[in-house]
Amino acid sequence: MTMHQSLKQQAIDILRMNDRGGYTVPTARLYPYQWEWDSVFAALGFATFDRDRAWEEIETLFSGQWDDGMVPHIIFHKTDPDYFPGPEMWKSNTVPPSSGHSQPPVAASAMLTMMQTGTDMDRERAKALFHKLYAWHRWFHTYRDPDNTGVVGIIHPWESGRDNCPDWDIGMGRIVVPDDLGDLPRRDITHVDPSERPTAEQYNRYLAIVKFGHECQWDHLEIARNGPFFMVDPCVQFALMRGDRDLAELATEFGEPGIRDEAEAWLKHSKAGCDSFWSDDVGGHVAKDLRTGGLSTAFTNASAMALYADAGSPDQQKRLTAEIAAILDHCSFGFPSWDPRDAQFESRRYWRGPIWSVVNYMIGIGLSEKGETALAERLRNDTRRAVETSGFFEYFDPLTGEGLGGKLFTWTAAIHLAWAM
């Protein structure tokens, strides 16, 4: 068997192995539940060899959708003491139990891709989920942009999916940890090296936001207006913009002109909003604290997703593409989660430097659609090389390609099959 065949088979085996019956876990033990964006990427991976299972993944995800339209970031299908914070901390009172906020809304884009590459069956499955998908996007625009600014906020760093990125240090620094929070029985640091995970101080602040959320019964307008944390995340904003574009296309396909017009209007408004978190100093869009107006200070893999959303003016796009090229010159295994030229870069600590294949994938699509074919190909090859060097790890050191975090990881395997192979 060639290396190509063997990695392909391993990736398929990982998706099968992490299948818990209708949904996949990101990796055994460390993350024993269904995570939103992990599942959507898992579906793209399954779609390369089992279309029925691919749709089932997304259908199970929507089975956890809240009445108000939100798709939560974690669905706790079966309680598992291996993970903290579990349902008892979120107190969301949903069936199935779930966390209290969302994650980057990448499902519209995956569903469109699956439909475009599929058969009548794929079209039918996409159509059956279409109104749920629309309700989720409407939830984002309503509850994450209550003042209709064209920019959505996130209420927790976990909502970005880029948990401990230095982007959140500005907003996290203002969080007051309540005295009655107690000792947190963290489980993550019993599974992987604590030096690769968020610090104890960060964890207390994460849980302070969760406490605010359940104390107001997850009233999302209250949390957006008065919660401890509200920041713009370029990743969520760009995923939503791309998703709105793809939702509009699905609406056209399914004969829903009203929804198409609404999605196009959202997109136009969001495009205009992007100027408010552009940083000339950085040469890209950066995270922004919506309470203080403070901007983050470095280029990230979320900044590099601007092309995927077609965000920014032609001049801004030229500038940010130059930054992408310059940063790629410093890394041989894909695009890092924090600029390696910046003093805060940590090559092994989670979202403070390491490389994540799912974000590479979205950056790569954006680059290729903008005609930056050489950069896109390089990113794709680098993503594959990280896996060839170390295996299907959760994330990778951008300088050495060393695999870090969880092993036999679902989304790394899925992206390998769907894009990087």
Q: Which of 264, 245, 367 is nearest to 306 (CA)?
A: 367
Please state, in angstroms and rounded to a whole number, the distance separating the CA atoms of residues 47 and 256.
26
Residue ranges of the alpha helices (H) in 144-167?
157-160
Binding mask 3-32 for ligand 9YW (x = CB under 6 A): -----------------------x----x-
Are the C-beta atoms of 99 and 72 separated by less than 8 Å? Answer: yes
Q: Say whether residue 161 binds ligand 9YW (CB under 6 A).
A: yes
Q: Say whether residue 206 binds ligand 9YW (CB under 6 A).
A: no
| Of 80, 82, 163, 264, the one binding ligand 9YW by CB under 6 A | 163
| Of 12, 19, 37, 45, the one binding ligand 9YW by CB under 6 A | 37
Q: Say whether residue 336 binds ligand 9YW (CB under 6 A).
A: no
| Of 7, 15, 18, 35, the one binding ligand 9YW by CB under 6 A | 35
Size of the site for ligand 9YW (CB under 6 A): 8
Which listed residue (50, 163, 253, 342) is catalytic? 163
Which is it for strands 74-75 and 34-35: parallel, antiparallel or unpaired? antiparallel
Instruction: CB nearer to ligand 9YW: give 17 or 325.
Output: 17
Q: Which residue has the tokens 């990743």?
A: 235
Which is it for strands 278-279 and 284-285: parallel, antiparallel or unpaired? antiparallel
Q: Does the annotation mark 147 as catalytic?
A: no
- Which DSSP helix (H) or strand (E) runs through 289? strand 288-289
Q: Say whether residue 168 binds ligand 9YW (CB under 6 A).
A: no
Please state, in angstroms and rounded to a whole number, the distance separating the CA atoms of residues 290 and 141.
15
> Cβ neighbours of residue 39 under 8 Å, at least 6 residues apart?
23, 24, 57, 58, 60, 61
Smallest distance from the beta carbon of 32 to ligand 9YW, in angstroms? 10
What is the DSSP-derived secondary structure letter of residue 329? T
Q: Say whether residue 392 binds ligand 9YW (CB under 6 A).
A: no
Q: What's the gap between Cα 25 and its chain centre?
A: 15
Q: Which of 363, 413, 421, 417 is nearest to 18 (CA)?
A: 413
Q: Say whether residue 308 binds ligand 9YW (CB under 6 A).
A: no
Please state, in angstroms and rounded to a whole number, the distance separating the CA atoms of residues 25 and 39.
8
Binding mask 174-203 for ligand 9YW (x = CB under 6 A): --------------x---------------
Smallest distance from the beta carbon of 343 to ligand 9YW, in angstroms? 23
Please state, in angstroms and rounded to a whole number, the distance separating the CA atoms of residues 151 and 241.
10
Instruction: CB nearer to ligand 9YW: give 38 or 233.
Output: 38
Binding mask 75-114 for ligand 9YW (x = CB under 6 A): ----------------------------------------
Binding site for ligand 9YW (CB under 6 A): 26, 31, 35, 37-38, 161, 163, 188
